[in-house]
Amino acid sequence: MTHVVVIGAGVIGLQTAVSLLDAGYRVTIVAEHYPGDSSVEYTSMWAGAQWRTHATKEQEESKWDIESYWYWMGVIERGGQTKDDMGVEVYPSYFYWANQTPESASRSSIWFADLVRNFAFLPPTALPPNTYAGIRYDSIAINPPKYLAYLYSRARTGGATTIREKLPTDKGMVAAIEKATSIVKSVESTYNDVDIAAFINCTGLAAGTLVPDPDVYPIKGETLLVRINDVFTPTFRSDINTFDPTSHVPAIFTHVDEAIPSVTYIIPRPGTITYVLGGTKEPDNWDTASNAGTLSDIQNRCRALWPALEHADFKQVASQVGLRPGRRGGARVELEEVQLGRSDGSKEGRKLAVIHHYGHAGAGYQNSIGSARKVVGLVGEVFGKSLAEELMKRAGGGEIGSRTGLLTGMKTEDEDDAEATGRRLAEAVMKYGRV
Ligand SMILES: Cc1cc2nc3c(=O)[nH]c(=O)nc-3n(C[C@H](O)[C@H](O)[C@H](O)COP(=O)(O)OP(=O)(O)OC[C@H]3O[C@@H](n4cnc5c(N)ncnc54)[C@H](O)[C@@H]3O)c2cc1C
C-alpha cells in the first residue's frame, strides 16, 4: 500500500490524512500539536469558525469553499451521530457592509449567491445602524475542538499512525523530512524505507521558517468565547420585512467596515450555549497576548451589531488569540521534488515528492475539504494513478462525478447520501461554470 506521511495535525493536516485514507493510502501523521492542545502555535483551535467565503470568483479557493459548504450541508442534512460528533450546524447568517463596495451592489455581484441556500439581500428596514447593505443566507458554524477531535478519531479508525514530534524548522525542508523519516522508521516496525512515497507539508504558519517561505506571515486574531443563557435572537421574516424580536433561533452575524482593520462577528458554537465574539485581523503581528482594550472593543462592537446583546448578561468563558497562517499569493497547494542527502547510502541521494499544503489564512476550515481533495489528486498524479479512474470508481461510474472531479477522496458511511451530496456539489459547481 502506498505510504504517505502528513506533517501537521491542524484542520488541514487531519483533513488531508482522512482524505488520503479514504482514497486508499497508508498514512502516518507526524505533528507537534494534536487536538486537545491549546498552544497558540496550533491555530486550528482558535478559529471562529464559520463558513464565510473570502474568495473571489476567479480564485481556486472559491471552488474549495463551495465544496466544503455542500459537504457539510450533506452531513447536517443526514443528521445523527456523525453531525453531533463533528460539531457542525447550519444557521441563518446575516452579513452587513458598513460602506458601499463592489459586492454590496446587487445579487449579481455576489458570485456565491446562487450556490448557497436561501440567499437574499436584506431590505433597508432590516439593517442595523451604520450599515450600507446586508445579505442573508444559510451558513455553517463549526465547533473547532469537536471538529478536530472528530477528524483525529476518523484518521485513527481509518488506520493512520500518529506520532507526536517537533521537526526542526531552522534547517530547511530536507532536514525536516530526514528527521521525520527516521522517526517514522523507529516507530513503525513494519517500515520499509522505499515505502514512504510522499510527504504532505501541512505545517500552517510554521511553513514560513520550515520551507522556508518568505510569503508566509501571521494574521493575529483575538476573540471572546462567551456563555449566553437565554437571549432573544432576531430572525429575519420576509412577511414583515424585518427581524422577529421574539425568536430564539441562534444566528451568525458579521459586519465588515473597510475603514477599520477588523471584522465584527457573532458565531454560535454548535452543541453548546456559547458564542464566539470577534474579532481582530492584524497582519504581521506575532504578539500572542490578549489585550484588555481590544476585548472590550470587541464586546462593544458585538452589542451594537446584535441589539439583543446590549442588555444581555453574558459570562466570559475565555479570551482567545490565534495566528492565522497568511500567505501572500494565497494558500500553497503544490508539488515539489526534494533532493534528499546521501544518508540512505545511495550515490546521489534520492528524490522525494513533497506536496505543500499550507497558508490558508482565515479560511482553513472552509477551504479544507476542497483543498485536501486537490492534494489527493496531486498524490494520485505523482503515482501515475488515473484520477479519472479513481473518480469514476467513487462516483459509481456516474457522469457527473467523472466530469467534475468533485468526488475525489470523499467517502461517507452511506454511499447513496454521498452520491446525493456529490450530485448537489457537482450541480452547484457546474452552474457556477468551473467544472
Ligand atoms: C481568530 C480566528 C478566526 C478564524 N475563523 C475562521 C473561520 O471562521 N473560518 C475558517 O475557515 N477559518 C477560520 N480561521 C482560520 C483557520 O483557523 C486556519 O486557517 C486553520 O486553522 C489553519 O490550519 P492549519 O492546519 O494549516 O494550521 P495549524 O492548525 O496551526 O496546524 C499546524 C500543524 O502543524 C504542526 N507543525 C508545525 N510545525 C511543526 C514542526 N516543526 N514539527 C511538527 N509539527 C509541526 C503543528 O503542531 C500543527 O499540528 C480563523 C483563525 C483565527 C485565528
pLDDT in tens, 208-233: 999 999 999 999 999 999 988 765 56
Q: So what's the pLDDT on residue 194?
A: 44
State how many domains the chain has: 1
Give the mean model confidence (pLDDT) for residues 307-323. 83
Indicate whether 33 pLDDT > 60.
Answer: yes
Q: Confirm if 184 and 198 have CB atoms less than 8 A apart.
A: no
Whether residue 281 is contained in a domain is answered as yes
Please indicate, yes or no, if residue 289 is contained in any of the structural domains.
Answer: yes
- The CATH code of the domain that includes 290 is 3.30.9.10
Element (H, E) at 226: strand 216-228
Q: Find the 205 Cα to ligand 1 centroid distance in Å.
A: 7
Rounded to an integer, what distance in angstroms lies between the CA atom of residue 167 and that of residue 172?
Answer: 10
Least confident of 90-104, 369-383, 388-402: 388-402
Residues 262-307: tens digit of each pLDDT: 999 999 999 998 999 999 999 999 999 999 999 999 999 998 888 6
- CA–CA gap between residue 94 and residue 235 (Å, rounded): 9
- Which letter does DSSP use for residue 122 in this model? P
More confident: 202 or 308: 202
Averaged pLDDT, 310-339: 91
Q: Count CA within 13 A, CB hemisphere, residue 268.
A: 25
Residue type at 418 in one-letter notation: A
Q: Select the more confidently predicted residue: 435 or 99.
A: 99
Instruction: Render the burial of 414-434: b for 16+ CB within 10 Å, e for the rest.
Output: eeeebbebbbbbbebbeebee
* 412 has binding-site annotation: no
Give the domain range for residue 100: 89-142+216-326
Residue 51 lies in a domain: no
Q: Which of the four pLDDT bands, split at 50, 70 and 90, describes residue 406?
A: very low
Q: Is the CB of 377 under 6 A from ligand 1?
A: no
Q: Quickly tell me which residue has 487531519 as its cell.
A: 14
Residue 58 has pLDDT above 70, yes or no: yes
Ligand 1: does its nearest atom lie under 6 Å from the Cβ of 9? yes
Contact 96, 255 (CB under 8 A): yes
367 domain-assigned: no
Task: Indicate the pLDDT class of residue 2, thresholds 50, 70 and 90.
Answer: confident
Residue 383: band (very low, low, confident or very high) from pLDDT cuts 50, 70, 90: confident
Residue that has been written with the C-alpha cell 479544507 in this structure: 368
**Is residue 254 a part of any domain in this protein?**
yes
Report, as an integer, the average pLDDT of 24-32: 96
- How far is residue 119's CA from residue 104's CA, in Å, rounded to a whole number? 13
CA of 333 to the centre of ligand 1 (A): 15
CA distance 126 to 239: 12
Torsions phi, psi of 106, nearest 5?
A: -165, 170
* pLDDT value of position 230: 62
CA distance 177 to 5: 10
Assigned C-alpha cell, 377: 489528486
C-alpha to C-alpha distance for 66 and 368, rounded to whole angstroms: 11
Q: Is 44 annotated as a binding residue?
A: yes
> Does pLDDT of 128 surpass 70?
yes
pLDDT value for 10: 98
Q: For residue 418, name the pLDDT band (cuts at 50, 70, 90).
A: very low
pLDDT at site 17: 98
Q: What average pLDDT does the structure give for the chain?
A: 85
Task: Name the pTM for this structure.
Answer: 0.88
The verdict on the CB of residue 322 being under 6 Å from ligand 1 is: yes
pLDDT at position 130? 86
325 CA → ligand 1 middle, Å: 7
Evaluate if residue 346 carries a pLDDT over 70: no
Q: In this structure, is residue 270 part of a structural domain?
A: yes
Residue 173 has pLDDT above 80, yes or no: yes
* Per-residue pLDDT, 245: 61
- Residue 1 has a pLDDT of 78
Identify the pLDDT of residue 216: 98
CB 139 less than 6 A from any atom of ligand 1: no
Instruction: Note the pLDDT of residue 288.
Output: 97
- Block residue for cell numbers 439583543: 308
DSSP letter string, 312-366: --EEEEEEEEEEEEEETTS-EEEEEEEE--STTS-SS--EEEEEEEE--GGGHHH
pLDDT of residue 185: 85
Poorest-pLDDT segment among 45-54, 281-290, 335-344:
335-344
101 falls within a domain: yes
Give the model's pLDDT for residue 384. Answer: 67
**Residue 313 maps to a domain:** yes
235-247 burial: b if 16+ Cβ within 10 Å, else e: bbeeeeebbeeeb
